[in-house]
Structure 1
């Protein structure tokens, strides 16, 4: 039975047909009814996305057990149910066979891969993880692979692309059933290589289980998601799962940026990593946890990275960056449209990843010069006499880095509009406020995505962090709750030669407030604010 098109997921048009008894044996489950005549053509854990021929994965959830929605799944065409003993007890007689297994989520990835014919084994899969830089590096790598003649796919925060078809992404990394269905659709449509962002949530929750990664890349680690992870070590442990020996999803080749201690720790724990460094080595680089390292710590600082930046990074009059990547095959010139030293690290990592994927590094590097990334240092131009930029920076280190980059590129003043998301890591809020106040002449604290929290409480945490910076070390701090009004205030403040940065939401097109998502795009709001100052007879800007 061929799967139909679904608006909620990407599926192959002609999926494999797998006998249910094969899935029963593969999962070690037991069945509540005969399975001999049943075949499965898909798998889904969302009842409203089930298609005829699917296996419905009724999993325990945070608010309700998936078994509660089994009747709807069967009505939509599910031919069997996969669940745990608690789910089976809740089902009664659903009218279809039930496969019962303790901890079914642990088998979901491999089961999804089996149902769709192990599609990742027929693709070159590149997985990129880290706190910052995943999206930018993924776009750069995709461009490099495409320049080498490969048909590419992209799965990430902003969008999923299959053969030029763009689909917005709800999650940085989809759940396992959707992910393997995407891979199968990509195989069917002639894709050769897929570049995907791999979040720590995906690694911890098993969303990428069953994926065979050819190359895994690590960008960096800084504070984020500590509402989900117990601490930094737990966060790091989740990232390590993409690389470490013994992990069922460990990439065949690891490419690790070792500019930070976290990258050095990861590289030290791996047998043959490809290392990337954009900063000069120092004896301090030898400081790693002994348990992570197979090498004496005094030797680590002396180990040269496989890929480095040769000489200085230069900035063109148009704001582009140029540098020389020194790698195993000799010097390779690289040109980036993206500003910032951190984007040099992303660019160098992308070149190294493309080489690790088996393509010509020089050909891949040449393609990076044309890459723009939505919502990442994205300029908005409406004829104003100052620079206006939207960026996704929503972590303390990212805010600090973006502001430092913009400060280095202007002789004028810098303003930043910044907020923090609700129902997320609260510990980073004062740190973000402090980073903004130190790096900008004007910090306008506003709402980001408050979600279910009181927006004023979130703003207060950022404001406390900003005002904790000694007065001599910080710029002006304002609080404007309405985000559009905050952007307009920063624009009115700016003079010729200044910079206005709107940070936090980047490519997002909505603002979630009290459970309701309202249309909101920082790029459009900033453009409207810029147009407003240009459409008045008298200059409405204020100092």
Structure 2
């Protein structure tokens, strides 16, 4: 049996595969997907079709292991069929592609010493999820799967929900932006939602290892590109919607429609039941989309809902206490370490989903009270006399919300360090600058992840939005391209009672510049700057 997993460190599976894969006949996959069966070389047409079986699937030629189905999909820059030679050399048993891919395969005439069957489908990506689910024995049907979508709050809600499940004695797995976890073992996440072959393989590993509930973030990209096709979602949860990903979606309506696939009973990936936060108009619209099925609503506002947040008390350290009422006039006092009204909404959603999942609410309430989320309003405490915070806010609404939260927590001024990512929605850059300038006493515009774009061009767009705010409505605005230098300048500016917010990258441990990811962790850089400046000051230097 080939090794079905790859590992970067002991106990952690990367592109995990089940230890005991089963074989699936290629004819069964053809019948399931509606694809036609063909041969890589016409002279093999007399070979027996039923003899071809596969035991795994991947769309990256370099990750193929013996017995896999290689998904050779058309792409924006190249066709996956161009890499079929490498996949076959690694032992691919069959190929999934389209007619263009088959033509490329035959034209390249890869050297192979065995008959290779090809599944040909006009839109192979559309059937890849179902095919992957079948190859891995439909693992999502063996666990309770909870999908969380929305613009902001997915990660925080998933962490809170995971804690509630653990507190109730469940054995949950987590799939999200920060990490994927199986039995507490961490698997780094490159995408909010992995591609379908990797996701179904991961689910198969989880099922093998006794995971009974999966909490996963579901992005609009994943819903649009079929990455979650073939998954049976027991519960779908919706947080909110604000501007993001309009580099991928043509407009806001298309963005909403992508998210709605998880809730629309007519969709092939819709959840069997839904829990929707109706604080904003998009949540109320989503509740209407889901209304033909089993839907529960929750709100922190005056919106009509099944579950509702009452009074909220905020402590000096930002922790919060609020009342959550559910059906039958039941009510629970909820303690939350995380600051911000938006985190009250996240916690209320997590608790409502917990109840939907069959968890005792009191048990869930007790569990969420001790949760901290990496890179989400994360305090950096080196004994300094001002508040230092790192947050993942990389959307205008999220940045505005976290600035407002921190301003309510401190008696002094607010300093913000922020930029915008390259190769992403350019329309939100000026909005990021505007949100940062309006809410702060000092805004330092810096580089985020420029990726393949010219950093100065990105900064110019953010600066334009910031400087468009009238001087009477904003503080000082500076441009410092080097992110570490920008953070240091903000720390030197801070006085007792102030707050320094470093926003945009949160938990990330790298900065991507010109296609190269360099080590960079805002939390470490901010902490080091505080320590260094404290030493300088102690030796008679100036802040």
What's the secondary structure of 1:70's corresponding residue? helix
The one of 276, 280, 300 aligned to 2:298? 276
Partner of 1:108: 128
Alignment of 1:62-461 (within 5 A): 62-92=76-106, 93-94=109-110, 95=112, 96-271=116-291, 272-281=294-303, 304-310=304-310, 312-328=311-327, 330-461=330-461
Q: Deviations over 1:408-456 (max 9, x none)?
A: 0111101000000011101101111010011010000000001111111
Unaligned runs of 5+ in 1: 282-303
Give the CA deviation at 1:280: 2.0
How big is the shift at 1:102? 1.0
2:241 counterpart SS class: coil
Q: Do 1:41 and 1:115's aligned partners in 2 also have CA atoms closer than 8 Å?
A: yes
The 1-side partners of 2:275 and 2:339 are apart by: 23
Q: Distance in 2 between matches of 1:29 and 1:454?
A: 44
Give the SS at the match of 2:231: coil
SS in 1 for 2:489: helix
Q: Is the 8 A contact 2:195 2:227 kept in 1?
A: yes
- Given candidates 7, 13, 26, the residue that maps to 2:19 is 13
Secondary structure, aligned partner of 1:535: helix
Choose from 40, 50, 59 the match for 1:36: 50
Q: Provide structure 2 residue ranges, at least 5 long, that are not aligned to the other structure.
A: 8-13, 40-47
Shift of 1:368: 0.4
Name the structure 2 match of 1:499. 499
Secondary structure, in 3 states, of the residue corresponding to 1:201? helix
Q: Which residue of 1 aligns with 2:11?
A: none
1:216: Cα distance to partner?
A: 0.3
1:26 CA drift (Å)? 1.3
Q: Is the CA contact 1:415–1:443 (under 8 Å) kept in the aligned structure 2?
A: yes
- Whether the 8 Å contact between 1:83 and 1:101 is mirrored in structure 2 is yes
Structure 1 length-normalised TM: 0.94
SS of aligned partner of 1:405: helix
CA 1:166 to 1:514, structure 2 compared with 1: closer, same or farther past 3 Å? same
TM-superposition CA deviations, 1:295-317 (whole Å, max 9, x none): xxxxxxxxx3111112x211234
Contact 1:492 1:540 in 2 (8 A): no
Bigger Cα displacement from structure 2, 323-332 vs 488-497: 323-332
Aligned equivalents of 2:505, 2:154: Cα separation in 1: 15
Task: Check conservation: 1:3, 1:41, Cα contact below 8 A.
Answer: no
| 1:48-63 alignment runs, 5 A limit | 48-63=62-77
Q: Could you tell me how far apart the structure 2 residues matched to 1:2 and 1:457 are?
A: 49
Tell me how far apart the structure 1 counterparts of residues 80 and 427 of structure 2 sit (CA, whole Å). 32
Given that 1:491 and 1:541 are in contact with CA atoms closer than 8 Å, whether structure 2 keeps it comes out as: no
Runs of 4+ in 1 over 4 A off after TM superposition: 538-542
Question: Helix, strand or coil for the counterpart of 2:382?
Answer: coil
| CA deviation profile, 1:447-474 (whole Å, cap 9, x unmatched) | 0001111111111111111111111110
Question: Does structure 2 conserve the Cα–Cα contact (< 8 Å) formed by 1:2 and 1:41?
Answer: no
Residue aligned with 1:427, SS: helix
Post-superposition offset of 1:77: 1.3
Distance in 2 separating the partners of 1:453 and 1:40 = 41
Once the two structures are TM-superposed, the CA of residue 370 in structure 1 deviates from its matched residue by 1.4
8 Å CA contact retained: 1:2, 1:13: no
1:2 offset after TM fit, Å?
5.7
C-alpha contact (below 8 Å) 2:72/2:79 kept by paired residues: yes
Aligned mates of 1:101, 1:461 — CA distance in 2: 43
- CA-CA distance at 1:479 after TM superposition: 0.6
| CA–CA distance in structure 2, aligned partners of residues 322 and 247 of structure 1 | 38
Task: Please point out which of 30, 33, 56 is paired with 1:27.
Answer: 33
The 1:509–1:166 alpha-carbon spacing in structure 2 relative to 1, beyond 3 Å, is: same
Q: Classify 1:89/1:121 alpha carbon distance in 2 versus 1 (closer, same or farther; 3 Å).
A: same
Cα distance 1:278–1:541, how it changes in 2: closer, same or farther (>3 A)?
farther
Task: State whether residues 429 and 465 of structure 2, in contact with CA within 8 Å, keep that contact through their aligned partners in structure 1.
Answer: yes
- Give the alignment's TM-score, normalised by structure 2: 0.94
User: Could you tell me how far apart the structure 2 residues matched to 1:363 and 1:175 are?
Assistant: 34
Q: Deviations over 1:309-359 (max 9, x none)?
A: 12x211234431111111125111211111000000000000001111111
CA contact (8 A) 2:400 2:439 kept: yes
